[in-house]
Chains A and B, each alone.
Chain A
Amino acid sequence: DTAVSQTPKYLVTQMGNDKSIKCEQNLGHDTMYWYKQDSKKFLKIMFSYNNKELIINETVPNRFSPKSPDKAHLNLHINSLELGDSAVYFCASKLRDGETQYFGPGTRLLVL
């Protein structure tokens, strides 16, 4: 009974390619996030959606485009992948009026 799931778990690709990461939560939450964890394990917010509406875009390059087809899903599409995009990407979710953000298991992206 995975609460926040992400696919794929691992993604190895060449520079310049376009790739997508999918996130789904079955917690009934209405707010979802994307965080990036770099090689030094620093976690930083990228985007936040509430009820399919973008509410945070943390100065992320526009090669990154989030899409929320419904409140339970938040996908991340990355165009023209660069070496510096190699990182672990975490999806998280919470209730709008709640406190706790629940994180997914992460997608490990390696750009060669």
Chain B
Amino acid sequence: QQQVKQSPQSLIVQKGGISIINCAYENTAFDYFPWYQQFPGKGPALLIAIRPDVSEKKEGRFTISFNKSAKQFSLHIMDSQPGDSATYFCAASTLGGSEKLVFGKGMKLTVNP
């Protein structure tokens, strides 16, 4: 049973374009939703995260949109750059509970120059 579903599996955009990654979750006990960025041969690194008490969070070119009623959240990357080419994972956890991160399957982003 996959608790966090992520789409698309891969995405190719041109430099300057917008990249959008979508995730849906099932467990309503989740209360922390981070996005991780992973470059080849490296460990995942936190990009941006959101709690369910807000509907949007923006940090630079990265924005998370959160829809609690639909149990969905998405990452928007504005003005995509070739350096953004990486694999992106959405995740969810229950803070104060087991706190394990449940990951989506990841999306490979390629930004062409």
Residues of chain A at the chain B interface (Cβ within 8 Å): 4, 31, 33, 35, 40-45, 48, 55-56, 58, 90, 92, 94, 99-106
Inter-chain contacts of B36 with A (CB < 8 A): 103
- Cα separation A35 to B49 with both chains bound (whole Å): 19
User: Assuming A41-B87, A56-B98, A99-B32, is B105 touching A105 (CB within 8 A)?
Assistant: no
CB distance from B27 to the nearest CB of A (A): 14
B residues 67-107 in Cβ contact with A at 8 Å: 87, 89, 95, 98-103, 105-106
- Cα separation A92 to B101 with both chains bound (whole Å): 10
Inter-chain contacts of A101 with B (CB < 8 A): 34, 46, 101
Instruction: Say whether B42 contacts A48, CB under 8 Å.
Output: no
B residues 32-48 in Cβ contact with A at 8 Å: 32, 34, 36, 38, 41-46
Instruction: Say whether B42 contacts A55, CB under 8 Å.
Output: no
Q: What would 12 A/B residue contacts be, using CB atoms closer than 8 Å?
A: A33-B100, A40-B105, A44-B103, A45-B101, A58-B100, A99-B49, A100-B34, A100-B49, A101-B34, A104-B43, A105-B42, A106-B41
Residue of chain A at shortest CB distance from B87: A41
Residues of chain B at the chain A interface (Cβ within 8 Å): 32, 34, 36, 38, 41-46, 49, 87, 89, 95, 98-103, 105-106
Instruction: Say whether A90 contacts B103, CB under 8 Å.
Output: no
Instruction: Say whether B99 contacts A48, CB under 8 Å.
Output: yes
- Cα separation A56 to B98 with both chains bound (whole Å): 7
Instruction: Say whether B44 contacts A41, CB under 8 Å.
Output: no
- Cα separation A24 to B95 with both chains bound (whole Å): 23
- Cα separation A43 to B89 with both chains bound (whole Å): 9
User: Assuming A90-B43, A100-B46, A103-B44, is B100 touching A48 (CB within 8 A)?
Assistant: yes
